[in-house]
């Protein structure tokens, strides 16, 4: 039995790298009946069939996995945002960072299209919150080397809305590659869902980046379940204030003597972070799951 990593999934085929070559594999039938069907990033064993394609036989235990983007075993989720079209809602950044944090995965905030609008305000929020934050332009190349430095030695996946510039950034990181990119629709100001599959590209021997399809606003998909009381711990910037509230069971929503609210009022915590916390708390309380 051979071993490898799935680096691409497309039309029912999984492309497994053994370090030297790619083997196109089908999944064994039984995976279709269990929730753990193979994901890009999975370490697998496979048997080679007579026509030199393969069959995936087993999936190694995962260190983490995500539904959107559909990837496994990621060190770092790079959330690509923009203050130009399509403008990113900070709530989406915060929601993805909570899901990543729960999966023991670092979040890098990459604010792209900085040639079109000054990203200062948005980047200030995330720098202040302790996230690795980088401002880039896939058009001019500004900031792309800073992004590369932050990615060094990690298995990364790009995530973010359609049209935000994920594929364009990978093209800039890997000159010679020319992934398809799509114009922003004038009418809707959104991307056109150009990338349709997840695929890993090596930046060097120990650094990998996955291009992924953009999020679609109409999709409703269960992402993860988190107890509402545990949400506060996934807002890492709240940590200095937790334990200083008047009430031990403070939910940091509107309670008197809340240290988190006091930090928002004094400008130590960005208001948008607390807005996202409140929104997510309500979602978790009513549905016990985060949907997107």
Ligand X SMILES: Nc1nc2c(ncn2[C@@H]2O[C@H](COP(=O)(O)OP(=O)(O)OP(=O)(O)O)[C@@H](O)[C@H]2O)c(=O)[nH]1
DSSP secondary structure, 222-238, as one string: EEE---GGGGGGG-GGG
Using CB under 6 A, pick the residue from 4, 214, 226, 281 that binds ligand X: 214
| CA distances in angstroms from 286 to 129, 218, 226, 230, listed in the order given | 27, 20, 12, 15
Q: Is 134 exposed, middle or buried (0-12, 13-18, 19+ CB in 10 A)?
A: buried
Instruction: State how far the Cα of 92 lies from the Cα of 214, in Å rounded to an integer.
Output: 12
Phi (first) and psi of residue 211, to 5 degrees = -85, 145
Would you count residue 115 as binding ligand X (CB under 6 A)? yes
For residue 164, the partner it binds in ligand X, Zn ion, Mg ion, none, with Cβ less than 5 to 8 A by kind, is ligand X
207 touches ligand X by CB under 6 A: no
**Main-chain dihedrals φ then ψ at residue 7, nearest 5 degrees:** -110, -5
SS3 205: coil
Q: Distance (Å, rounded) from C-alpha 109 to C-alpha 96?
A: 10
Q: Does 195 bind ligand X (CB under 6 A)?
A: yes
User: CB of 41 within 8 A of CB of 105?
Assistant: no
Segment 5 to 44, residues that bind Zn ion, using CB under 5 A: none
Strand partners, 224: 290
Find which of ligand X, Zn ion, Mg ion, none residue 228 binds, CB within 5 to 8 Å per kind. none
**110 is a contact residue toward ligand X (CB under 6 A):** no
Options 54-62, 80-88, 142-150, 239-247: segment touching Zn ion (CB under 5 A): 239-247
Interface stretch with Zn ion, choices 9-17, 180-188, 229-237, 242-250 (CB under 5 A) = 242-250
Select the residue interacting with Zn ion from 68, 252, 273, 274 (CB under 5 A).
252
Angle, helices 90-102 vs 271-287, to 10°: value is 60
Residue from 88, 107, 168, 272 touching ligand X (CB under 6 A): that is 168
Interface pattern 127-146 for ligand X (x via CB under 6 A): ----------xxx-------
Closest distance of CB 81 from ligand X, Å: 11
Q: Which does 113 bind (CB under 5 to 8 A by kind): Mg ion, ligand X, Zn ion, none?
A: ligand X
CB of 204 to ligand X, least distance (A): 22
Give the nearest distance from C-beta 195 to Mg ion in angstroms.
3
Task: Check binding of 263 to Zn ion (CB under 5 A).
Answer: no
Burial of 253-277, coded b for 16+ CB within 10 Å and e otherwise, reads eeeeebbbbebbeeeebbebbbebb
Residues contributing to the site for ligand X (CB under 6 A)? 112-113, 115-116, 137-139, 162-168, 181-184, 191-195, 213-214
């Amino acid at each position: 039995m051979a071993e490898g990593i799935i680096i691409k999934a497309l039309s029912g085929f999984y492309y497994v790298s053994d370090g030297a070559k790619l083997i196109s594999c089908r999944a064994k039938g039984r995976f279709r009946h269990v929730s753990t069907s193979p994901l890009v990033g999975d370490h697998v064993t496979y048997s080679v069939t007579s026509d030199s394609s393969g069959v995936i036989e087993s999936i190694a235990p995962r260190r983490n996995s995500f539904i959107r983007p559909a990837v496994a075993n990621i060190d770092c989720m790079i959330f690509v945002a923009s203050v130009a079209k399509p403008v990113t809602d900070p709530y989406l950044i915060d929601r993805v960072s909570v899901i990543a944090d729960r999966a023991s995965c670092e979040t890098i905030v990459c604010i792209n299209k900085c040639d079109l609008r000054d990203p200062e305000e948005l980047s200030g929020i995330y720098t202040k919150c302790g996230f690795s934050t980088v401002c880039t332009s896939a058009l001019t190349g500004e900031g792309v080397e800073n992004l590369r430095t932050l990615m060094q030695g990690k298995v990364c996946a790009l995530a973010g809305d359609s049209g935000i510039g994920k594929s364009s950034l990978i093209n800039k990181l890997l000159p010679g590659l020319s992934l398809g990119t799509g114009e922003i629709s004038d009418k809707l100001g959104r991307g056109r869902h150009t990338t349709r599959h997840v695929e890993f590209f090596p930046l060097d021997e120990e650094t990998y980046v996955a291009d992924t399809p953009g999020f679609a606003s109409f999709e409703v998909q269960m992402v993860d379940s988190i107890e509402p009381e545990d949400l506060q711990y996934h807002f890492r910037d709240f940590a200095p204030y937790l334990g200083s509230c008047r009430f031990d069971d403070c939910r940091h929503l509107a309670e008197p003597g809340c240290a988190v609210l006091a930090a928002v009022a004094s400008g130590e915590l960005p208001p948008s972070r607390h807005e996202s916390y409140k929104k997510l708390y309500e979602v978790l309380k009513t549905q016990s799951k985060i949907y997107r």
